[in-house]
Amino acid sequence: DQQVKQNSPSLSVQEGRISILNCDYTNSMFDYFLWYKKYPAEGPTFLISISSIKDKNEDGRFTVFLNKSAKHLSLHIVPSQPGDSAVYFCAAIDGNQFYFGTGTSLTVIP
């Protein structure tokens, strides 16, 4: 039973444009959400997070939005750069348990 879902396996955007990656969840007990970036043959690296008491968190080119009523979060990357090409995972926390989505592969076209 997948509690965190990323329904788009892949996304392609032009360099300089906005990338929007989406994530849906089913568990209303999740109190913290994170995005990770993963390159092939490497472990994931932390990108940005948001607490359930907030609806937006921004860090440079990366912004995460949380819509609790819709159980939906999104990651915006502006402007997108070729080095952003990677697999992006969203994750949610319930207590000490982490739940990951299946990932979205982002390709930024130069």
Partner 1 sequence: NAGVTQTPKFRILKIGQSMTLQCAQDMNHNYMYWYRQDPGMGLKLIYYSVGAGITDKGEVPNGYNVSRSTTEDFPLRLELAAPSQTSVYFCASSYTSGTYYEQYFGPGTRLTVT
- Residues of the shown chain interacting with partner 1 in the complex, contacts defined by CB under 8 A: 2, 4, 6, 9, 32, 34, 36, 41-46, 49, 51, 89, 91, 93, 96-103
Judged by CB, which is closer to partner 1: 32, or 65? 32
- Minimum CB–partner distance for residue 93 and partner 1 (Å): 6
> How far is residue 86's CA from residue 11's CA, in Å, rounded to a whole number?
10
Judged by CB, which is closer to partner 1: 18, or 98? 98
- Minimum CB–partner distance for residue 57 and partner 1 (Å): 12
- Residue 21 · residue 36 · CB < 8 Å: no
Question: Peptide bond preceding 110: is omega within 30 degrees of 0, i.e. cis?
Answer: no
3-state secondary structure of 84: helix
Judged by CB, which is closer to partner 1: 6, or 85? 6
- Residue 76 · residue 84 · CB < 8 Å: no
